[in-house]
Amino acid sequence: MMTTTDNEIPKTVTIGKDLIVDRIGFGTMQLVGPKEWGEYPYHDKGIALLKEVVDQDVTFIDTADVYGPHSNEELIHEALHPYPDNLVIATKGGFVRGGPEYADMGAVGNRAYLKQSAYMSMRRLGLDHIDLYYLHTPTMTDVPFEEMIDTLAEMREIGLIRNIGLSNISAEQLQTALEITEIAAVTAHYSIGVRIGAALLKVSDEAGVVFSPWHPAAVPSGEDGTRFHSVLDPLAETHRVSAQQIALAWQLHRSPLMLPIPGTTGVDHLRENLAAVNIALTQSEVDMITDLEEE
């Protein structure tokens, strides 16, 4: 695992060969209806928030076709198109929603469906290509995992997408994918309290693949949260920030390839998240937080 040896962290990360973005992006998953179904009920507020994201110089936005479905990508287009030249929009495909309940969710990975999904995301977003396109899940049963990676490589070859991303995969699946083609980024659940993506982070770090954790600033609550707050709260007081900001800063210190995508529905919270890039933790502080949970 790569960690910084002092309290200085890189301010940017490079996706693929040349897409340079700031270290903290913005995840848009909350800007939809309940259970990620339907349009965001506070439409004007959502538009204003997305505009503020760009005004705060955020250069990486993460979305997916299944958020809504589709309404999240449409909201981004309405709020921000034409996009700033330095803005990278990542989206994902592969999940399908058969209804408003999570139990209605399935996944399709065949060549025709994935290509159609990318084309339709491109249309909704108003783009002529997608800078970073994630396979949203590897759980499809209609085709083998390797065939889906071949399809993504074909999509990149024809210029439909620029970089390949993989979401919610295992470390072993990333290794398999890397034997087939170049992978630019992965995204997984990883935070101070949830280390599901720890093995994947290790492999991506070694391979030079960007790691984008979701729910990156989450701090456990209740009885389980006591031991986390016993470490985070004194650090927050020392640095004069919140425990959530410390949790997010810890992510940035874990690897120079880390690209957290915290989401929010409020402007003040957005600004707090982005300010975490300026929190300089010492290596001993990073280690104290890391040791809170086994990896």
Q: pLDDT per residue over 277-290, tens digit each? A: 999 999 999 999 99
Give yes or no for a contact between 216 and 190, defined as CB atoms under 8 angstroms apart.
yes
Residue range 217-243: mean pLDDT, rounded:
95
Residue range 117-135: mean pLDDT, rounded:
98
Residue range 215-244: mean pLDDT, rounded:
95
Residue range 238-260: mean pLDDT, rounded:
97
Poorest-pLDDT segment among 6-20, 187-201, 223-237: 6-20
* 67 given a catalytic annotation: yes
Has residue 3 got a pLDDT over 70?
no
CATH superfamily of 12-290: NADP-dependent oxidoreductase domain (3.20.20.100)
Has residue 7 got a pLDDT over 80?
no
Q: Is the full-model pTM beyond 0.85?
A: yes
Has residue 2 got a pLDDT over 70?
no
Instruction: Give the integer Cα–Cα distance in Å for 221 and 71.
Output: 31
From 40, 67, 113, 134, active-site residue: 67
pLDDT tens readout for residues 92-123: 999 999 999 999 999 999 999 999 999 999 99
Residue range 226-232: mean pLDDT, rounded:
96
Instruction: Give the integer Cα–Cα distance in Å for 266 and 18.
Output: 31
Query: Residue ranges per domain, the chain?
Result: 12-290
